[in-house]
Chain A
Amino acid sequence: MNATIDHMVSLIVFIGAILLFIGLFSQTIQTAVVYESHKALSTKTSDLLDTILLNPGIPGDWGKTDVRPAGLGLQDPEFTQYQMSSFSLMRLDSSTGNLVEYDKTGSYYSNLSLGFGASLLMPKAQELNYSTALSLLGINNTYGFQLTLTPDITVSITETNPGSPLGLSVSASGTGSPFSGATINYCLIQVTLPQNESEYPSYTIQSGSNTTDQQGIANLTFPSVTDANQTYAFIAYAHLDGVVGVGYHTRVSATDQCVVPIVQSMGSQEVALAHNYDLNNSGPEGSSLKYNATFVISTEDYTLSELSLGNSSSQGVVGTVTSGVGNPSPTIPLPECTTGILIVTYQESSTQGGVVLMPWGVSSLAFPVTFGGNPVGQVWVATDIRQVTIGGIAYQAKLALWSTSGYQVNG
Chain B
Amino acid sequence: MIRTIEVLLVIIIIAGAFIGTSYLSVLPAPRQVSPINLNRLSLTTLQMLDSDYDLSRAAFETDNSTVLGQLQVALSASLPPNVIYNLTVYDVNDKEGQLYTLYTPVANISNAESIGTTSDVSMYTVASSNVTFNVTPEKIGEKSNGGTLYILNCSDANGWWITGYTAQSLAQDLYNLLSPYFINTIMVQNTTQLRELIDNHTISSSPTEKVQNAVVINTFGECVPMPQEYYQGQSRASQGYDSNAPSGYGYVKYCYTLGNCVFMYNWTWASIVGYPFYYVSNTGVFSNDQNGWGIYGMKMTATGGSRAFLEGLNNQAYVYNSAQITDSANRVVTFTQAAIDSCNYYGIYPSIYQTSTRALSNSTMSSYNLRVGFNVFNPSGDYLAGAVYNHFAIGSTNITGSLLALGLTRTPDVRVTALSLLSYYQPRLYPSEYTAQGTSRLVVLQLGLAGGS
Contacts and interface: CB of A to CB of B under 8 A. Distances in A.
Contact of A242 (B11, B35, B41, B74): B74
B336 interface: no
B178 interface: no
A178 B11 CA distance: 62
A241 B78 CA distance: 11
B69 A35 contact: no
Interface string B150-169: 00000000000000000000
B367 interface: no
Please classify the interface of chain A as helix (H, G, I), strand (E, B), loop, or mixed, using the class held by over half of its residues.
mixed
B80 A10 contact: no
Contact of B1 (A6, A41, A46): A6
A38 B14 contact: no
A387 B73 contact: no
A242 B77 contact: no
B55 A176 contact: no
A386 B41 contact: yes
Nearest to A388: B44
Given A10-B3, A13-B11, A387 B18 contact: no
Contacts of A81: 47
A176 B72 CA distance: 11
A222 interface: no
B21 A13 contact: no
B79 A21 contact: no
Interface in A80-99: 81-82
A241 B35 CA distance: 28
Interface stretch (A59-67, A258-266, A377-385): A377-385
Interface stretch (B25-33, B371-379, B385-393): B25-33
B150 to A, nearest CB: 39
A173 B77 CA distance: 7
A181 interface: yes
Contacts of B396: none
A177 B76 contact: yes
Interface in B12-51: 14-15, 18, 21-22, 25, 27-28, 33-37, 40-41, 44-45, 47-51
Contacts of A174: 76-79
A177 B49 contact: no
Contact of A387 (B8, B11, B48): B48
Interface in A156-215: 173-182
Given A2-B1, A25-B18, A152 B78 contact: yes
Contacts of B341: none
B77 A42 contact: no
Given A35-B28, A241-B71, A10 B55 contact: no
B21 A28 contact: yes
Given A176-B78, A240-B70, A242-B74, A10 B4 contact: yes
A120 B48 CA distance: 27
A176 B47 contact: no
Q: Which of B15, B35, B74 has the most CB of A within 10 A?
A: B74
A6 B2 contact: yes
Q: Which of A7, A14, A173 has the most CB of B within 10 A?
A: A14
B113 interface: no
A380 B33 CA distance: 11
Contact of B18 (A13, A24, A41, A243): A24
A340 B2 CA distance: 89
A389 to B, nearest CB: 6
A50 B52 CA distance: 23
B338 interface: no
A10 B54 contact: no
Contacts of A10: 3-4, 6-7
Given A14-B10, A243-B74, A38 B34 contact: yes
Contacts of B8: 13
A380 B10 CA distance: 39
B77 A385 contact: no
Interface string A43-87: 000100010000000000000000000000000000001100000
A180 B74 contact: no
A394 interface: yes
Nearest to B1: A6
B414 interface: no
A182 B40 CA distance: 26
B54 to A, nearest CB: 4
Given A10-B3, A241-B58, A387-B48, 19 more contacts: A2-B1, A6-B1, A13-B8, A17-B10, A17-B11, A46-B40, A50-B40, A152-B78, A174-B77, A174-B79, A175-B79, A176-B83, A177-B73, A241-B55, A243-B74, A384-B36, A386-B44, A387-B47, A389-B51
Interface of B: 1-4, 6-8, 10-11, 14-15, 18, 21-22, 25, 27-28, 33-37, 40-41, 44-45, 47-55, 58, 69-71, 73-74, 76-81, 83
12 contacts: A13-B7, A25-B18, A42-B33, A175-B81, A180-B73, A240-B77, A241-B71, A241-B74, A242-B53, A388-B44, A389-B48, A389-B51
